[in-house]
Each structure stands twice: as structure tokens, then as C-alpha cells.
Amino acid sequence: MNQFSIILTIVLTFISSTLLSQEVIVNDGTNSLIKIVDEGTFGSIQLKNGTPSTTTRKIYSVGGTLYYNGNPVHNSSVGDNDWTINNNDMYSNVSGFVGVNNSTPAYTLDVGGDINLTGRLYLNGSYGTPGQVLTTNGSSAPTWEDATDNTIGFYAYQATGTVEYPGGVENQLQDFTENFDEGNGFNSTNGGYQPPSAGLYHFDVKVSYKAGPTVNGAATYIQIKVNGNAGTGLKFIKRVWTSSSLGEAVMFSANLNVSTTDIITFHFFFPSGSGLQVEGSSIPEATTISGFKAK
């Protein structure tokens, strides 16, 4: 008997049995294994509860869940063990991470590729207001902030007649009057600046020398140091000429990548016996330092 004859025999057996009875039962002599039931206007198949010894290419029922080939048969209307569908909503039941194009996710949602967004970007239920930007707060969640509120920087000038700097040694600029200090990173007493946030900063220094004695090309320099280390800062050397009616200012600008633990200080030098003196008694804001966060 060929395979088609076997299948036809089984079908005809079920049909003839159905004509004689409302149920067709396949059993092993003791247990009902499969039951085909006439439900009136439709029929149903009832399987015995349990897992077969081998599951390859087999359909079976365990606890009301239908399995095939060892795996649950998913139904989009009721969900499965990983996802739940609630009307038009669907959510994940997993307690770990979900990966998209990523077989080893390390975050709640870990996407291995680009993300395209055509609508609003919400953060804690808010999409911000026009002109705001997302600002990181370190380990905590970022927040929407006004771009104008993120300005960080300072400007200070040498208080008149308060400091006399000696020649022949390197001096640290100090004892300043603050004009502004956004971020509260500047110490007006010792002239040190501690950035309130890490990034690239631009600094400007101006040291003005008094008119008075004639000075012919005295070698001076300005240096910006990070944590007192000259190797991490920048240096500018310039010769200065002055006369009885004209002084000269030495100006230096530099960009530095700094962290919130760094201390930035500003130093200068002029030769001993050169006759140079730092302006501060007659011209306010002749000697200044300033800086701002560029990015």
C-alpha cells in the first residue's frame, strides 16, 4: 500500500466515524490521545496534555499552550511569553535587555544601528521649548536647558594699586576684581580658575607695563598653567619697549581642553633691573584675564 492510499484510508475512516458519532477518539487502549469533537456548527481537536519523549516535527499541548517542534506556537492576538498585546498596545515582559540588531544588549533598549526619528523627542514626558538643548548632568538623566543659560566664563581685572610684582621671578597674577563669573569657577584672590564643566576653553591674558623709564626690548613672557604644570600649559614670549610717555601691553590667547578637577593659573615674567612695572595704579583694567567655554 503506497503513502497516498494510507492517507486516503485514514481520511475515509475519520469521515465514516464522524457520520456515525459526534466524536472521533484516538487512544492507546487506556488514554485518550487525540479527540475530534463535533461542536455543532464547527469542530475542534483536543490533545492530551503532556510533552512527548521527542518533540521534533510534533504538535502537542502542555498546560493549554500549543507547541510545535519544541517551541510555543505564537498567536499575535494573545502574545507569548516575551510580549503582551493589550488592544492596540504591545509591551515586553522580559526583565532583562532588548536588542535590535544586537544579540548581546547591555541596556534596556540596545540598538545596533541608526535610529531615525520623524516626530518629537521626549525626555521625561517633555519635548522642551523652542531654543532649548539637551544638557548632560553626568551620571543622571540629561535635561532640556535654555542655550543662553549654558554660557560659562569669567572676566576679571587687576585691582588698581593693590599688587606690586617683583622682576626677575615668575609671578602669578592674583588679587583681581571680578566683572562677571558665570559658573562660579574663578577665585579672585589667588587668580585661579576651576572649570565648572569639562571641555574646550578659550583664555585671554593681558599684562600692561607702565610708561616711565625707557626700556629697550626687555624679554618678558606670559604663561598659562594647568595644575601648576608648565608642561600642560602654553607660553608666549615678547620683548617690551617703553618710554616716559608710552607703556606697552603684552597679550596672549590660548585654547585648552580641561576637566572640572583642573586649576588654571596665569603667570608672567619680566627681567629684574629692567625698569618695568606692571600698570595698575592709574589705568583700571590695564591688566586682565578672562576665559569662556568654547565647546
> Could you tell me the CA-to-CA distances from 23 to 38, 40, 175, 250, 268 in Å, in that order?
6, 11, 102, 105, 104
- Residue 126's domain comprises 117-149
Confirm if 198 and 258 have CB atoms less than 8 A apart.
Answer: yes
| Measured distance CA(247)–CA(218) in Å, rounded | 13
112 against 36, higher pLDDT? 112
Q: Do 125 and 227 share a domain, yes or no?
A: no
Confirm if 226 and 258 have CB atoms less than 8 A apart.
Answer: yes
Q: Do 127 and 225 share a domain, yes or no?
A: no
Q: Do 121 and 19 share a domain, yes or no?
A: no
Q: Do 74 and 12 share a domain, yes or no?
A: yes
Q: Do 136 and 177 share a domain, yes or no?
A: no
Q: Note the pLDDT tens digit of each residue in 132-178.
A: 888 776 777 888 876 654 578 999 998 766 568 889 999 999 888 89
Q: Do 106 and 64 share a domain, yes or no?
A: yes
Q: Do 144 and 214 share a domain, yes or no?
A: no
Q: How many domains does the chain have?
A: 3
Q: Do 163 and 141 share a domain, yes or no?
A: no
Q: Note the pLDDT tens digit of each residue in 178-217.
A: 999 998 999 999 999 999 988 899 999 999 998 888 999 9
**Residue 252 pairs with which residues in a beta bridge?**
205
| Measured distance CA(135)–CA(194) in Å, rounded | 20
pTM score, whole prediction: 0.51
Q: Note the pLDDT tens digit of each residue in 103-120.
A: 999 998 999 999 999 988
Q: Do 283 and 204 share a domain, yes or no?
A: yes
